[in-house]
Amino acid sequence: MTDGANNGQRQLGKLRRVVVKVGSAVIAGNGRLRPKVITSVAADVTALRAAGLEVVMVVSGAVAAGYAPMGMASPPIEVVERQAAASVGQHRLMGILSKAFKKHRVHVAQLLMTPEDIENRRRFISARHTLQTLIRRGVVPIINENDALSDDENKVGDNDHLAALVTGLVSAELLVILSVVEGLRSDGGAGPVISQVEIGSSIDHHISHSKSVSGVGGMHAKVAAARLASHWGVPTIVADGLSAGMLPRLIAGEPLGTIFLPREKRLSARKQWIALRSRSLGSLTVDEGAKAAIIERGASLLPSGIRAVQGHFSMGARVDLLDLEGRTFAVGLVSYSAHDIDRLKGRKQSEVRDILGFEYIREIINRDDLVVL
Ligand code: GLU
Protein backbone atom coordinates (compact mmCIF):
# COMPACT_ATOMS: atom_id res chain seq x y z
CA MET A 1 0.00 0.00 0.00
CA THR A 2 1.38 3.32 -0.94
CA ASP A 3 -0.08 6.72 -1.38
CA GLY A 4 1.43 7.31 -4.77
CA ALA A 5 -0.89 10.15 -5.70
CA ASN A 6 0.55 13.57 -6.53
CA ASN A 7 -0.49 16.38 -4.17
CA GLY A 8 -2.81 13.87 -2.59
CA GLN A 9 -4.72 13.69 -5.89
CA ARG A 10 -5.18 10.42 -7.75
CA GLN A 11 -3.98 10.17 -11.30
CA LEU A 12 -6.68 8.29 -13.18
CA GLY A 13 -5.33 8.93 -16.65
CA LYS A 14 -7.52 9.69 -19.59
CA LEU A 15 -11.00 8.34 -18.92
CA ARG A 16 -13.57 7.87 -21.60
CA ARG A 17 -15.93 5.24 -20.24
CA VAL A 18 -16.77 4.37 -16.63
CA VAL A 19 -18.89 1.63 -15.07
CA VAL A 20 -20.69 2.75 -11.89
CA LYS A 21 -22.14 0.06 -9.66
CA VAL A 22 -24.57 1.07 -6.94
CA GLY A 23 -25.29 -1.42 -4.17
CA SER A 24 -28.63 -2.49 -2.72
CA ALA A 25 -27.90 -0.98 0.66
CA VAL A 26 -27.31 2.43 -0.98
CA ILE A 27 -30.48 2.24 -3.07
CA ALA A 28 -32.86 0.84 -0.48
CA GLY A 29 -33.16 0.46 3.26
CA ASN A 30 -35.71 -1.59 5.21
CA GLY A 31 -37.46 -2.67 2.06
CA ARG A 32 -38.01 0.84 0.74
CA LEU A 33 -36.25 2.56 -2.12
CA ARG A 34 -34.51 5.80 -1.24
CA PRO A 35 -35.62 8.33 -3.87
CA LYS A 36 -33.37 11.06 -2.43
CA VAL A 37 -30.25 8.94 -2.77
CA ILE A 38 -31.26 7.81 -6.25
CA THR A 39 -31.86 11.43 -7.28
CA SER A 40 -28.42 12.39 -6.05
CA VAL A 41 -26.73 9.45 -7.85
CA ALA A 42 -28.51 10.48 -11.05
CA ALA A 43 -27.26 14.06 -10.61
CA ASP A 44 -23.72 12.74 -10.09
CA VAL A 45 -23.86 10.55 -13.19
CA THR A 46 -25.17 13.51 -15.17
CA ALA A 47 -22.20 15.56 -13.94
CA LEU A 48 -19.80 12.91 -15.25
CA ARG A 49 -21.54 12.93 -18.59
CA ALA A 50 -21.30 16.70 -18.70
CA ALA A 51 -17.56 16.27 -18.14
CA GLY A 52 -17.46 14.15 -21.31
CA LEU A 53 -17.57 10.67 -19.80
CA GLU A 54 -19.69 7.78 -20.96
CA VAL A 55 -21.35 6.01 -18.05
CA VAL A 56 -22.75 2.49 -17.82
CA MET A 57 -24.52 1.65 -14.56
CA VAL A 58 -25.02 -1.62 -12.70
CA VAL A 59 -27.72 -1.05 -10.10
CA SER A 60 -28.77 -3.54 -7.41
CA GLY A 61 -31.84 -3.33 -5.27
CA ALA A 62 -34.52 -5.35 -7.03
CA VAL A 63 -34.94 -7.77 -4.14
CA ALA A 64 -34.39 -5.04 -1.56
CA ALA A 65 -37.16 -2.91 -3.11
CA GLY A 66 -39.53 -5.80 -3.74
CA TYR A 67 -39.96 -7.76 -0.56
CA ALA A 68 -41.84 -5.17 1.55
CA PRO A 69 -44.57 -4.58 -1.08
CA MET A 70 -45.00 -8.37 -1.11
CA GLY A 71 -45.83 -8.23 2.57
CA MET A 72 -42.54 -9.57 3.91
CA ALA A 73 -40.80 -8.07 6.91
CA SER A 74 -37.25 -8.94 5.88
CA PRO A 75 -35.40 -9.95 2.70
CA PRO A 76 -36.53 -13.46 1.76
CA ILE A 77 -34.11 -16.36 2.06
CA GLU A 78 -35.92 -18.86 -0.14
CA VAL A 79 -34.72 -18.64 -3.73
CA VAL A 80 -38.10 -18.50 -5.40
CA GLU A 81 -39.31 -15.81 -2.97
CA ARG A 82 -36.24 -13.77 -3.90
CA GLN A 83 -37.00 -14.25 -7.57
CA ALA A 84 -40.56 -13.08 -7.00
CA ALA A 85 -39.43 -10.11 -4.89
CA ALA A 86 -36.97 -9.11 -7.61
CA SER A 87 -39.71 -9.01 -10.21
CA VAL A 88 -41.73 -6.68 -7.97
CA GLY A 89 -38.72 -4.54 -7.08
CA GLN A 90 -36.99 -4.28 -10.47
CA HIS A 91 -39.59 -2.13 -12.20
CA ARG A 92 -40.06 0.04 -9.10
CA LEU A 93 -36.30 0.57 -9.11
CA MET A 94 -36.29 1.50 -12.79
CA GLY A 95 -39.31 3.77 -12.28
CA ILE A 96 -37.49 5.89 -9.73
CA LEU A 97 -34.22 5.85 -11.68
CA SER A 98 -35.95 6.86 -14.86
CA LYS A 99 -37.72 9.73 -13.08
CA ALA A 100 -34.48 10.89 -11.49
CA PHE A 101 -32.68 11.00 -14.85
CA LYS A 102 -35.61 12.63 -16.60
CA LYS A 103 -34.97 15.78 -14.57
CA HIS A 104 -31.70 15.98 -16.48
CA ARG A 105 -33.39 15.10 -19.78
CA VAL A 106 -31.53 11.82 -19.89
CA HIS A 107 -33.10 8.55 -20.96
CA VAL A 108 -32.22 5.29 -19.27
CA ALA A 109 -32.32 1.73 -20.61
CA GLN A 110 -32.75 -1.48 -18.66
CA LEU A 111 -30.69 -4.59 -19.41
CA LEU A 112 -31.27 -7.70 -17.30
CA MET A 113 -28.49 -10.19 -17.79
CA THR A 114 -27.91 -13.86 -17.05
CA PRO A 115 -24.63 -15.79 -16.90
CA GLU A 116 -25.31 -17.08 -20.43
CA ASP A 117 -25.16 -13.53 -21.75
CA ILE A 118 -21.53 -13.45 -20.69
CA GLU A 119 -20.57 -17.07 -21.40
CA ASN A 120 -22.13 -17.43 -24.80
CA ARG A 121 -19.90 -15.60 -27.23
CA ARG A 122 -22.76 -14.66 -29.52
CA ARG A 123 -24.92 -13.18 -26.75
CA PHE A 124 -21.87 -11.48 -25.31
CA ILE A 125 -21.20 -9.72 -28.58
CA SER A 126 -24.86 -8.93 -28.97
CA ALA A 127 -24.98 -7.35 -25.49
CA ARG A 128 -21.89 -5.35 -26.36
CA HIS A 129 -23.45 -4.03 -29.55
CA THR A 130 -26.65 -3.03 -27.74
CA LEU A 131 -24.67 -1.23 -25.06
CA GLN A 132 -22.49 0.56 -27.60
CA THR A 133 -25.56 1.72 -29.47
CA LEU A 134 -27.22 3.01 -26.30
CA ILE A 135 -24.06 4.85 -25.30
CA ARG A 136 -23.74 6.38 -28.77
CA ARG A 137 -27.33 7.57 -28.50
CA GLY A 138 -26.69 9.26 -25.17
CA VAL A 139 -28.80 6.81 -23.16
CA VAL A 140 -27.59 5.60 -19.76
CA PRO A 141 -27.69 1.77 -19.72
CA ILE A 142 -28.71 0.39 -16.32
CA ILE A 143 -27.86 -3.27 -15.82
CA ASN A 144 -28.94 -5.79 -13.23
CA GLU A 145 -28.97 -9.53 -13.13
CA ASN A 146 -32.20 -11.10 -14.37
CA ASP A 147 -33.03 -12.11 -10.80
CA ALA A 148 -36.63 -13.03 -11.48
CA LEU A 149 -35.61 -15.87 -13.76
CA SER A 150 -32.28 -16.97 -12.29
CA ASP A 151 -32.30 -19.64 -9.66
CA ASP A 152 -29.27 -20.07 -7.45
CA GLU A 153 -27.74 -22.80 -9.59
CA ASN A 154 -27.47 -20.48 -12.50
CA LYS A 155 -26.65 -17.03 -11.30
CA VAL A 156 -23.92 -14.44 -11.64
CA GLY A 157 -24.64 -13.93 -7.95
CA ASP A 158 -23.39 -10.62 -6.77
CA ASN A 159 -23.51 -7.40 -8.70
CA ASP A 160 -19.92 -6.47 -7.85
CA HIS A 161 -18.91 -9.43 -9.98
CA LEU A 162 -21.43 -8.53 -12.67
CA ALA A 163 -20.10 -4.96 -12.72
CA ALA A 164 -16.54 -6.22 -13.23
CA LEU A 165 -17.75 -8.39 -16.10
CA VAL A 166 -19.58 -5.41 -17.61
CA THR A 167 -16.37 -3.35 -17.30
CA GLY A 168 -14.72 -5.85 -19.62
CA LEU A 169 -17.77 -6.12 -21.83
CA VAL A 170 -17.88 -2.38 -22.59
CA SER A 171 -14.09 -1.83 -22.39
CA ALA A 172 -14.40 0.81 -19.66
CA GLU A 173 -11.29 2.36 -18.12
CA LEU A 174 -12.60 2.58 -14.55
CA LEU A 175 -15.01 0.71 -12.30
CA VAL A 176 -16.57 2.61 -9.40
CA ILE A 177 -18.44 0.60 -6.75
CA LEU A 178 -20.67 2.80 -4.62
CA SER A 179 -21.42 1.12 -1.33
CA VAL A 180 -22.46 1.91 2.23
CA VAL A 181 -18.88 1.33 3.29
CA GLU A 182 -16.41 4.15 2.78
CA GLY A 183 -13.76 1.86 1.36
CA LEU A 184 -11.45 -0.92 2.46
CA ARG A 185 -10.50 -0.43 6.10
CA SER A 186 -7.34 -1.81 7.65
CA ASP A 187 -7.37 -4.33 10.49
CA GLY A 188 -10.33 -6.31 9.28
CA GLY A 189 -12.57 -3.26 9.03
CA ALA A 190 -11.70 -1.56 12.31
CA GLY A 191 -8.94 0.79 11.12
CA PRO A 192 -8.93 3.80 8.79
CA VAL A 193 -9.82 3.60 5.08
CA ILE A 194 -6.86 2.56 2.95
CA SER A 195 -6.60 4.98 0.05
CA GLN A 196 -4.75 2.77 -2.39
CA VAL A 197 -4.13 -0.93 -2.75
CA GLU A 198 -2.27 -2.80 -5.43
CA ILE A 199 -4.03 -5.91 -6.62
CA GLY A 200 -1.86 -8.86 -5.75
CA SER A 201 -0.36 -7.28 -2.64
CA SER A 202 -1.10 -8.89 0.70
CA ILE A 203 -4.41 -7.20 1.32
CA ASP A 204 -6.46 -10.15 2.34
CA HIS A 205 -6.14 -9.63 6.07
CA HIS A 206 -7.85 -6.27 5.64
CA ILE A 207 -10.92 -7.80 4.15
CA SER A 208 -13.91 -7.95 6.42
CA HIS A 209 -16.39 -10.72 5.71
CA SER A 210 -19.38 -8.85 7.06
CA LYS A 211 -22.15 -7.69 4.75
CA SER A 212 -24.81 -5.02 5.01
CA VAL A 213 -28.32 -6.25 5.72
CA SER A 214 -29.63 -5.78 2.18
CA GLY A 215 -26.33 -6.24 0.32
CA VAL A 216 -25.21 -9.49 -1.22
CA GLY A 217 -21.52 -9.02 -1.74
CA GLY A 218 -19.64 -7.53 1.21
CA MET A 219 -16.03 -6.35 0.97
CA HIS A 220 -14.83 -9.76 -0.07
CA ALA A 221 -16.92 -9.58 -3.25
CA LYS A 222 -15.65 -6.05 -3.92
CA VAL A 223 -12.03 -7.09 -3.74
CA ALA A 224 -12.80 -10.10 -5.98
CA ALA A 225 -14.48 -7.75 -8.47
CA ALA A 226 -11.47 -5.41 -8.36
CA ARG A 227 -9.24 -8.39 -9.06
CA LEU A 228 -11.34 -9.36 -12.05
CA ALA A 229 -11.37 -5.77 -13.36
CA SER A 230 -7.58 -5.75 -13.02
CA HIS A 231 -7.49 -8.44 -15.71
CA TRP A 232 -8.67 -5.81 -18.16
CA GLY A 233 -6.01 -3.48 -16.75
CA VAL A 234 -8.73 -1.40 -15.08
CA PRO A 235 -8.63 0.18 -11.60
CA THR A 236 -11.61 -0.11 -9.25
CA ILE A 237 -12.65 2.48 -6.67
CA VAL A 238 -14.87 1.47 -3.74
CA ALA A 239 -16.45 4.52 -2.12
CA ASP A 240 -19.34 5.78 -0.04
CA GLY A 241 -22.48 5.91 -2.17
CA LEU A 242 -24.56 7.81 0.37
CA SER A 243 -22.42 10.90 0.13
CA ALA A 244 -23.78 13.30 -2.51
CA GLY A 245 -21.31 14.50 -5.14
CA MET A 246 -19.06 11.48 -4.64
CA LEU A 247 -18.70 10.53 -8.33
CA PRO A 248 -17.50 13.90 -9.68
CA ARG A 249 -15.10 14.21 -6.76
CA LEU A 250 -13.67 10.75 -7.46
CA ILE A 251 -13.27 11.49 -11.14
CA ALA A 252 -11.54 14.76 -10.30
CA GLY A 253 -8.93 12.65 -8.48
CA GLU A 254 -9.90 13.26 -4.86
CA PRO A 255 -8.46 10.37 -2.85
CA LEU A 256 -11.76 9.21 -1.38
CA GLY A 257 -12.59 5.58 -0.71
CA THR A 258 -10.13 2.90 -1.82
CA ILE A 259 -8.63 2.54 -5.27
CA PHE A 260 -7.48 -0.92 -6.31
CA LEU A 261 -4.76 -0.60 -8.90
CA PRO A 262 -4.10 -3.34 -11.45
CA ARG A 263 -0.53 -4.51 -11.27
CA GLU A 264 -0.46 -7.06 -13.99
CA LYS A 265 -0.37 -6.33 -17.67
CA ARG A 266 -3.61 -6.51 -19.55
CA LEU A 267 -4.43 -10.08 -20.55
CA SER A 268 -4.57 -11.14 -24.17
CA ALA A 269 -8.06 -11.19 -25.67
CA ARG A 270 -8.16 -14.96 -25.41
CA LYS A 271 -7.17 -15.02 -21.74
CA GLN A 272 -9.61 -12.21 -21.00
CA TRP A 273 -12.29 -14.38 -22.48
CA ILE A 274 -11.33 -17.26 -20.19
CA ALA A 275 -11.23 -15.05 -17.10
CA LEU A 276 -14.45 -13.41 -18.12
CA ARG A 277 -16.63 -16.49 -18.36
CA SER A 278 -18.74 -15.87 -15.34
CA ARG A 279 -18.26 -19.08 -13.43
CA SER A 280 -16.31 -22.25 -13.24
CA LEU A 281 -18.08 -25.56 -13.60
CA GLY A 282 -15.79 -27.41 -11.23
CA SER A 283 -12.34 -27.38 -9.73
CA LEU A 284 -9.08 -29.27 -9.67
CA THR A 285 -6.95 -29.46 -6.55
CA VAL A 286 -3.26 -29.53 -7.42
CA ASP A 287 -0.09 -30.13 -5.43
CA GLU A 288 2.52 -27.53 -4.52
CA GLY A 289 4.85 -28.51 -7.38
CA ALA A 290 2.18 -28.01 -10.02
CA LYS A 291 1.11 -24.71 -8.44
CA ALA A 292 4.67 -23.40 -8.42
CA ALA A 293 5.28 -24.51 -12.02
CA ILE A 294 2.11 -22.74 -13.19
CA ILE A 295 2.69 -19.51 -11.27
CA GLU A 296 6.46 -19.22 -11.61
CA ARG A 297 7.14 -20.79 -14.99
CA GLY A 298 3.83 -20.36 -16.75
CA ALA A 299 3.70 -24.13 -17.20
CA SER A 300 0.73 -26.20 -18.37
CA LEU A 301 -1.15 -28.44 -15.93
CA LEU A 302 -0.17 -32.11 -16.26
CA PRO A 303 -2.00 -35.14 -14.83
CA SER A 304 0.71 -35.90 -12.27
CA GLY A 305 0.12 -32.68 -10.30
CA ILE A 306 -3.61 -33.20 -9.83
CA ARG A 307 -4.83 -34.48 -6.46
CA ALA A 308 -8.60 -34.20 -6.70
CA VAL A 309 -11.40 -33.35 -9.12
CA GLN A 310 -14.60 -31.60 -8.02
CA GLY A 311 -17.72 -31.23 -10.14
CA HIS A 312 -19.08 -32.71 -13.35
CA PHE A 313 -17.86 -30.99 -16.46
CA SER A 314 -16.93 -31.83 -19.99
CA MET A 315 -13.96 -30.96 -22.14
CA GLY A 316 -13.63 -27.22 -22.71
CA ALA A 317 -15.25 -26.24 -19.39
CA ARG A 318 -13.74 -23.56 -17.23
CA VAL A 319 -12.53 -24.83 -13.87
CA ASP A 320 -10.84 -23.29 -10.83
CA LEU A 321 -7.40 -24.50 -9.82
CA LEU A 322 -7.14 -24.88 -6.07
CA ASP A 323 -4.02 -25.31 -4.00
CA LEU A 324 -3.86 -27.80 -1.12
CA GLU A 325 -5.28 -25.16 1.22
CA GLY A 326 -8.32 -24.84 -1.02
CA ARG A 327 -7.46 -21.38 -2.36
CA THR A 328 -8.24 -20.62 -5.99
CA PHE A 329 -5.06 -19.41 -7.68
CA ALA A 330 -5.92 -19.84 -11.37
CA VAL A 331 -8.71 -20.68 -13.80
CA GLY A 332 -8.44 -22.56 -17.03
CA LEU A 333 -10.17 -24.52 -19.76
CA VAL A 334 -9.81 -28.28 -19.44
CA SER A 335 -8.81 -30.54 -22.31
CA TYR A 336 -10.55 -33.58 -20.77
CA SER A 337 -13.83 -34.23 -18.95
CA ALA A 338 -14.08 -34.47 -15.15
CA HIS A 339 -14.53 -38.22 -15.51
CA ASP A 340 -11.33 -38.63 -17.53
CA ILE A 341 -9.33 -36.26 -15.33
CA ASP A 342 -10.41 -38.24 -12.30
CA ARG A 343 -8.92 -41.36 -13.88
CA LEU A 344 -5.72 -39.55 -14.88
CA LYS A 345 -5.04 -37.62 -11.68
CA GLY A 346 -1.66 -38.31 -10.12
CA ARG A 347 -0.59 -40.47 -13.06
CA LYS A 348 2.35 -40.07 -15.39
CA GLN A 349 2.09 -38.57 -18.86
CA SER A 350 3.15 -41.89 -20.40
CA GLU A 351 0.21 -43.68 -18.78
CA VAL A 352 -2.51 -41.55 -20.35
CA ARG A 353 -3.04 -43.71 -23.40
CA ASP A 354 -3.17 -46.91 -21.34
CA ILE A 355 -5.70 -45.48 -18.92
CA LEU A 356 -8.05 -43.81 -21.37
CA GLY A 357 -7.48 -45.90 -24.45
CA PHE A 358 -6.63 -42.71 -26.30
CA GLU A 359 -4.53 -39.61 -25.83
CA TYR A 360 -6.01 -36.38 -27.01
CA ILE A 361 -3.44 -33.86 -25.85
CA ARG A 362 -0.61 -34.08 -23.31
CA GLU A 363 -1.82 -31.38 -20.93
CA ILE A 364 -4.94 -31.36 -18.78
CA ILE A 365 -4.90 -27.57 -19.14
CA ASN A 366 -2.62 -26.03 -21.72
CA ARG A 367 -0.72 -22.92 -20.62
CA ASP A 368 -2.54 -20.84 -23.25
CA ASP A 369 -5.81 -21.81 -21.59
CA LEU A 370 -4.67 -20.88 -18.06
CA VAL A 371 -5.09 -17.57 -16.28
CA VAL A 372 -3.29 -17.07 -12.98
CA LEU A 373 -5.35 -14.95 -10.60
N1 GLU B 1 -29.29 -8.43 -8.33
C2 GLU B 1 -29.64 -8.25 -6.95
C3 GLU B 1 -30.76 -7.24 -6.80
O4 GLU B 1 -30.87 -6.36 -7.59
C5 GLU B 1 -28.51 -7.74 -6.12
C6 GLU B 1 -27.23 -8.45 -6.19
C7 GLU B 1 -26.19 -7.70 -5.38
O8 GLU B 1 -26.53 -6.78 -4.63
O9 GLU B 1 -25.02 -8.02 -5.49
O10 GLU B 1 -31.49 -7.32 -5.87
Q: Is the CB of 61 under 6 A from ligand 1?
A: yes
Nearest ligand 1 atom to the CA of 214 is 8
Q: Which domains does the chain have, with CATH numbers?
A: 2-270 (3.40.1160.10), 280-372 (2.30.130.10)
Q: What is the pLDDT along the chain (373 residues), one digit of tens a residue?
A: 444 445 689 989 889 999 999 999 999 988 899 999 999 999 999 999 999 999 999 999 999 999 999 999 999 999 999 999 999 999 999 999 999 999 999 999 999 998 888 877 678 878 888 999 999 999 999 999 999 998 777 778 789 999 999 998 898 999 999 999 999 988 777 889 999 999 877 765 566 555 554 455 688 899 989 988 988 889 999 999 999 999 999 999 999 999 999 976 677 777 777 777 667 899 999 999 999 999 998 899 999 999 999 999 988 889 999 999 999 999 998 989 999 999 999 998 888 888 888 877 778 998 888 988 7
Residues 6 or more apart whose Cβ sits within 8 Å of residue 71: none
Mutate to test the pocket of ligand 1, among 158, 180, 214 (most ligand atoms within 8 A of CB): 158
Q: Is the CB of 215 under 6 A from ligand 1?
A: yes
Rounded to the nearest angstrom, the distance between the alpha carbon of 36 and the centre of ligand 1 is 20
- Phi, psi dihedrals of residue 348, rounded to the nearest 5°: -85, 150
Q: Is the CB of 58 under 6 A from ligand 1?
A: no
d(CA 365, CA 300): 6
Q: Is the CB of 278 under 6 A from ligand 1?
A: no
How many Å separate Cα 296 from the centre of its chain? 26
Residues 6 or more apart whose Cβ sits within 8 Å of residue 90: 62, 65, 66, 110, 112, 144, 147, 148
Rounded to two decimals, the pTM is 0.78
